[in-house]
Structure 1
Amino acid sequence: MKFLFSIIAVVMLTESCNSSKEAASDSKKAVVENVEMKKEVATNTEPKKQDIKKTETKSNKNTFDKNLLTDKEKAVQKNYGTAIIYEAISRGFAKYVYITEDKVLLSTDRSLQKMDEYKCDANDWQTIQSLIKKLDTKAMGSLKAPTDKRLYDGAAHATLTLKQGDLAYITPTFDDGFPPEEIKELVNKVLSVGEKVKKQ
């Protein structure tokens, strides 16, 4: 077994060295080509057609890479936007409402395995955005619940989460249906959007 392991290690090490040598030789070739091209430009005013094609190919590759990068950036921005999440959970009850600019996800499954997806209306999203702008996001973590029914199973435990990019602002738990006054209007709008899309 040790012998087999040592053979595998030697093979992997050899492959690693070969790839390092190939990378080094590729970079040496690029330097040599660059030096030759500079010499040719210095001696002749026109470089060879072959060298021009190589330069054009490299230029096209750079343009292609830039296009890829912008596509990646667009994908990141799309998934990196603002989202508002309302969750309410008790022993026999679960409610999950997730809203972004273009979609609404609803679930009554505690494990969130089954989700229904709907399109978010632009007017509803604008209203939610205006309500979010009114919020003091830094104070969301210290909001006080107006009622305590959840402590004796009189109501489900609910939270509101605001995701902006990679930041998440989460409220302490409050009774489902009785949010703190500071977020009451936003919670009611989120829940009404959830009910509205179900009827579509």
Structure 2
Amino acid sequence: MKTIALVFLSLFLTKSCQTKKGTTENAPVAEVVQTEKTKSEMKENTIQIGTKVEYEALSRGFFSKIVFENNQLTIATDRNNAEKGTVVMLTKEDASVISNLVKAVNLDELPNLKAPSEARTYDGATHANLTITSNGKVYTGAGFDGGNPPAAIAKLVSKLVSYSEKK
């Protein structure tokens, strides 16, 4: 009885695999047409695909995490549930501004940026950090006082934080 069931099951699975293979081979293939305009738009928007910007500020009684990815921001204020937060859909203009600010950052120098102040060491300010993931590589900053980032990333941090203040 086991042998009959095994043979029947083998024939059934073989037949279903052949059917799926045949339907995908005969399926129409979509053709992608790129104009000069779409090529330039793709070059302008390359920062948005595969790039993730994370700003995090925390102290003993405060937590804020802002993530920019796929033309949207996720703002979390609960340290125990940092993956869930308020999602803010950005307009094309806002996403473009943030993308341009990210492009202006020298990613290789991000870990070497020196913080202008050290108030976070004695609880005088929140401890903040900026992490940028681009093309599969993670660039993490050295840390700085919340509200007083290094000059090279100040505009980007200020823009990201401005959305959490609107919330």
| 2:117 alignment partner, one of 147, 163, 174 | 147
**In 2 relative to 1, CA 126–80 (structure 1 residues): closer, same or farther, beyond 3 Å?**
closer
Determine the C-alpha separation between the residues in 1 that align with 2:146 and 2:98: 19
SS in 2 for 1:179: coil
Q: Does 1:98 align with 2:67?
A: yes
Residues paired across the two proteins, number: 140
Determine the C-alpha separation between the residues in 1 that align with 2:65 and 2:78: 8
Letter in 2 for 1:61: T
The equivalent of 2:25 in structure 1 is 62
The equivalent of 1:191 in structure 2 is 161
Q: Which runs of 5+ in 1 are unaligned?
A: 1-17, 31-53, 68-78
RMSD of aligned C-alpha atoms? 3.2
Q: Does 1:172 align with 2:142?
A: yes
The equivalent of 2:38 in structure 1 is none
Larger relative contact order, structure 1 or 2 (CA cutoff 8 Å, min sep 6): 2
1:113 positional shift? 5.6
**In 2 relative to 1, CA 63–123 (structure 1 residues): closer, same or farther, beyond 3 Å?**
farther
1:162 positional shift? 1.1
Determine the C-alpha separation between the residues in 1 that align with 2:70 and 2:144: 26
Runs (4+) of structure 1 exceeding 3 A deviation are: none
Determine the C-alpha separation between the residues in 1 that align with 2:78 and 2:158: 21
**In 2 relative to 1, CA 152–125 (structure 1 residues): closer, same or farther, beyond 3 Å?**
same
Determine the C-alpha separation between the residues in 2 that align with 1:194 and 1:87: 12
TM-score (norm 1): 0.60
Which of the pair is proportionally richer in helix? 1
SS in 2 for 1:159: strand
Letter in 2 for 1:136: N
The equivalent of 1:126 in structure 2 is 96
% identical aligned pairs? 33
Q: Specify the structure having the higher radius of gyration (Cα).
A: 1
Letter in 1 for 2:165: E
SS in 1 for 2:54: strand
| 1:181 alignment partner, one of 106, 128, 151 | 151
Q: Which runs of 5+ in 2 are unaligned?
A: 1-5, 31-47
The equivalent of 1:161 in structure 2 is 131
The equivalent of 1:33 in structure 2 is none
